[in-house]
Structure 1
Amino acid sequence: MAEDTKTQSNNTDNSTQAKRKRLPRKALPSAVQSNTNRSELTIKGRISSAAKAVSASDFPLFRAFILSPDADELFVKTTKNTIISLSTGDRYSSSCSGYLVIL
């Protein structure tokens, strides 16, 4: 008898608990592009004084860097083992050294 009462109370507790409603996600605003044709953009930035191993764990993710001080191509480290060129979108191995760029 005691077991039946316990089972009934457990069943009623589970069914009477209110389920949490999920709120719909807020859509992010769309970026507005003012110029429809492609053109070049000149960006000024400062380059770090010493190269650092990109594959090192303390090399920051999603920060712009270049492979040599006179390079004109920016890269971003996206994962521990992958870097992406910002100009072409190509993926490469992170087994290189790079100079962080402060834009």
Structure 2
Amino acid sequence: MYVGGGTPTALSINQLERLLKAIRDTFTITGEYTFEANPDELTKEKVQLLEKYGVNRISMGVQTFKPELLSVLGRTHNTEDIYTSVLNAKTQVLNQSV
């Protein structure tokens, strides 16, 4: 299962939980269960919630580690956000693609 096509982690924690419950109640998921995330939106609380509902992989839309390119691309995160998000996901033992 791949949940993306936008960035579901832009949702509030309550909205995200409603989405995760709806997915759980609708589908039987085996194997990889991936959520897209922006680094500035992937809080510890959201990582814990994703893990609670069986998400085992996060795909982060980093784009670049260069601050000047992040700005040109209109990205809302910075380099520190990237490292923080990677560490947040790592503490929950989630696989990641950056």
TM-score in terms of structure 1 length: 0.22
Structure with the bigger percentage of strand: 1
Structure with the bigger percentage of helix: 2
Larger radius of gyration: 1
